[in-house]
Structure 1
Amino acid sequence: MAAAGVLSGGAVTAAAASPQPVPATWADGGNRQTAANKAMVVHFYDQLFNHGNLAVIDRYVRPDYIQHNPNSPDGLDALCHFVTGLRAAHPDLHVTIERAIADGNLVMLHSNSVTDPGTKGQAIVDIFRIQDGKIAEHWDVIEQVPDTTASGNDMLSTLSTPRLRWPDPRVSTSASKRVASALFHGVTAGRDVTAFDRYASDPYYQHNPQSPNGIAAAKAFFASTFAANPGFSVSVKRVIAEGDYVAFHSHYKFAADDPGFAILDLYRVRDGKVVEHWDVIQPVPEKSANDNTMF
């Protein structure tokens, strides 16, 4: 669940790419098609944004490509135009993919996009839906990386052990999903902050920039949020899980007429407890370049 940073805005741009090849472990676990989807998406991302290889658009993206980034229209021409403009404006663009998670026909990338050297850039989550071997649909959530955080943790690193950036194939995906879902739904839908006591474990590493580490801080934040916002609601749009990582892509609202926030909450589950949390938060804009909403 997003913690105190729910009220902070994030810059709205499209995502960039990974300069490194896919680690072999990223393809472990799951079925062969899911692993192939993940490898294809990471390759596409790298070639398109880091190398400006526009040929991968025709090769890997369906002609009826659906776009949920509010700054971009649907279709291949719009994607080509965006990439060309982005690379022209930021020739030193560099993106590091910290995590790649695949679940059925969905692939999620959790990245740090640095458009200009010396800046901290943006934390970005991209979600791709694969259909018949090609990218059919895209969602993203984008937030500016701040200079400092309440916990002292950055927005993207892994602090819990073992310090693997990619999903651990030795961990049961279904078991991780059960634990993370019990915590997430228990708190957001059930408004039961004691779910942290049952399903999380201290030091509960926190990567939301405005929240300290620990279960006590998370409980205090949600208790105060519920008290101050009786109309608070969370609508989960999709869940993506692999190994010890579980992600919830949701629409958070503080009142019925609130446009709200697109938020991606990411949990790491170890030994049956949630031990680490990342999120990326973006306000839902009033207007969009497409008619698809951010969800």
Structure 2
Amino acid sequence: MKKISLILTSILLMSALAACTSNSSTTEQPATTPTTENTGTGNPAATNPEATTPTEGATSTDPASTESASAQNAKIVANKKVVASMYQDVLNGHQADKIDMYLADDYKEHDPMIATGKEAFKTYIASFIKANPDYKVNVKGMIGQNDLVAVMNYPMANPDDPGQAAVDIFRVTDGKIVEHWNTVQSVTGASSMIQNLLPSASTTADVAATDKAIVASNAQFVSNFFNSFFVEHNTDAASGVVSESLVQHNVKMKDGIEPLVNNYLAQFRANPDSTATVVNMVAEGDMVLIQSQMKKNADDAGQSVVQIFRVENNEIAEMWMLSQDVPAKTVNENGMF
């Protein structure tokens, strides 16, 4: 199972990175595959010779590359505007009749509680808003890459609702939303703790000014780490890649590299057949977002897990994570992935 998961993950990661690196003047870095699996042996603080680092000062100097990057940015901006307007008009404006403006006729839904298709979504939203007239979504930020837009947000049924932390990922084609995935985690605790569950990013349709070469390098850097650490259970991969002073937003873990390594070392020992399969990947600016299906074993339905990594000074400096159990039954036939 683990080898199959690694193959699927590598294919998805390389596909997501291809368009990003096509506008880069840097050489694509190959994904690392550890020769030995670390599920409890070895020194977690040992140097990882296979780790690659983001390119410092990388720039796109080829005029054709610059033009292509500009065109790509324009597409991302347009996609973000579609998604942002849908939130404003439909989810926060409670205008279900405007759904036709934003969703494609062949809209595909992965939310386990909503049937697939534009008309089904329209029916669900109209009913939900009627039952929750004070419903509001507080958008904390958006990032986009290629045809995907990821929205970090806090939906609330009413002002007294502690709410949920959510990441919604939309695929946009020809100005219409054609597919949607989400991962939603209920939240408890102080409001300051809740607000730290997701990163802050621009809520406008602008694209971060970070050069495409650096974005591509960051994405490759994180994908290498994800493959080695989460897919192959090689906790040595954190050394030299994750900052010693890592800022951790997972409420179950403390800051620093050591708690991260120790936590997953225990998990991998307890679940040696666990797998992590990438579903979506979005990189913009200094952030790389990965949605994956994580399973303890072949019989486990698993969880939808969204991890967001911030890269700074050639290291993973900050991490966020949301998770949602995959239900035994879903309203639509598409499943969560």
Shared fold (TM-score greater than 0.5)?
yes
* Contact kept? 1:68, 1:290, Cα under 8 Å: yes
* Contact kept? 1:180, 1:267, Cα under 8 Å: yes
Q: Does 1:170 align with 2:198?
A: no
* Contact kept? 1:153, 1:207, Cα under 8 Å: no
Query: Matches of 1:165 and 1:29 in 2, distance apart?
Result: 20
Equivalent residue in structure 2 for 1:61, among 98, 103, 127: 103
Instruction: Classify 1:239/1:157 alpha carbon distance in 2 versus 1 (closer, same or farther; 3 Å).
Output: closer
Q: Does 1:36 align with 2:78?
A: yes
Q: Does 1:74 align with 2:113?
A: no
Larger radius of gyration: 2
1:279-290 equivalences in 2 (<5 Å): 279-290=321-332
* Contact kept? 2:105, 2:118, Cα under 8 Å: yes
Query: Matches of 1:99 and 1:30 in 2, distance apart?
Result: 20
* Contact kept? 1:153, 1:206, Cα under 8 Å: no
Tell me what 1:86 maps to: 128
Question: Identity percentage over the alignment?
Answer: 30
Per-residue CA distance 1:21-62 (angstroms, 9 max, x = gap): xxxxxxx99521111101111111221011112243111211
Per-residue CA distance 1:243-292 (angstroms, 9 max, x = gap): 11111111100011101001111111112211111111111111111111
Read off the aligned partner of 1:177 and give its amino acid letter: A
TM-score, normalization by structure 2: 0.73
RMSD in angstroms over aligned alpha carbons?
Answer: 2.1
Secondary structure in 1 aligned to 2:331?
coil
Instruction: Classify 1:148/1:32 alpha carbon distance in 2 versus 1 (closer, same or farther; 3 Å).
Output: same
* Contact kept? 1:65, 1:135, Cα under 8 Å: yes
| Greater share of residues in helix | 2
Equivalent residue in structure 1 for 2:278, among 232, 236, 249: 236
Secondary structure in 1 aligned to 2:183?
strand
The 4+ residue runs of structure 1 with deviation greater than 3 A are 164-168
Per-residue CA distance 1:110-151 (angstroms, 9 max, x = gap): 1111212133210111111112221111111100012169x8
Q: How far is 1:202 from its partner?
A: 3.5
* Contact kept? 1:29, 1:169, Cα under 8 Å: no
Read off the aligned partner of 1:43 and give its amino acid letter: S
The number of residue pairs the alignment matches comes to 262
Gaps of 5+ in 1: 1-27, 159-163
Query: Matches of 2:194 and 2:143 in 1, distance apart?
Result: 26
Equivalent residue in structure 2 for 1:143, among 158, 176, 185: 185
Q: Tell me which of the two structures has the higher relative contact order, counting C-alpha pairs closer than 8 angstroms and 6 or more residues apart.
A: 2
Q: Does 1:181 align with 2:231?
A: no
Tell me what 2:149 maps to: 107
Query: Matches of 1:202 and 1:122 in 2, distance apart?
Result: 30
Instruction: Classify 1:178/1:75 alpha carbon distance in 2 versus 1 (closer, same or farther; 3 Å).
Output: same
